[in-house]
Amino acid sequence: RKAEKSGIVVELDTTGRLLPVYYQLYLQSLERWAAQQNEPPWLARWRGERRDPLRKLQNIARFMGDAFRLWVAWVDNEPAAAMIVLQSRNAHSTRSVMNKALAGPSRANMLLDRLAIEDACNAGCRAYHLGETGSSESLAHFKEQIGAEPHAYAEYRLERLPFTRLDRNLRALVKRVIGFKDA
């Protein structure tokens, strides 16, 4: 209610037209996450741009068609928050980003989540997945505020060579060296 009363303007894009706006917020979020985790900003940008390049998101939008839904919240004509939802029989919020200075006080993220969940319900979706929480207590708290319930599950990887274990050990070593803090 606070977000609705604050004059936030929300756009729903199903074509990928607003992906450059999303990506700018994503790059800002990488900087913020780097600072929170004591990670060098250049390393966070390199990892983030490698994991989720703009071209990848553009391809998702193109191939998913109407199932691709990009929500953007604007505060005083500035992008405050954005989220990508993939919606078919169920909906999956795959990534959310924000300008914390604008989105925090206005509660733009909560408004986007409410509208996306409402949209999924109206489309007949039976479930709405808010994405992985990992070990982030603050993210878990945010999701619980909007009605989410945690669900534990097992994750399996079948590999001929132990790449996952090698990758995990290498990441742990780098995190120790740079003083990384899981937020």
The pLDDT tens digits of the residues spanning 46-71 come to 989 999 999 999 999 999 999 999 99
pTM for the full predicted model: 0.82
Decide: 11 and 72 in contact? Cβ < 8 Å. Answer: yes
Q: How far apart are CA 130 and CA 119, in angstroms?
A: 14
Provide the residue type at 121 as one letter.
Answer: C
The pLDDT tens digits of the residues spanning 88-136 come to 999 999 889 999 999 888 889 889 999 999 999 999 999 998 888 777 7
End-to-end CA distance of the chain: 28
Q: Which two tokens stand for residue 162?
A: 């132990």
Mean predicted confidence (pLDDT) in 23-45: 91
Q: Is 53 helix (H, G, I), strand (E, B) or coil?
A: coil
The pLDDT tens digits of the residues spanning 149-179 come to 888 778 777 877 777 788 778 877 877 888 8
Q: How far apart are CA 103 and CA 96, in angstroms?
A: 11
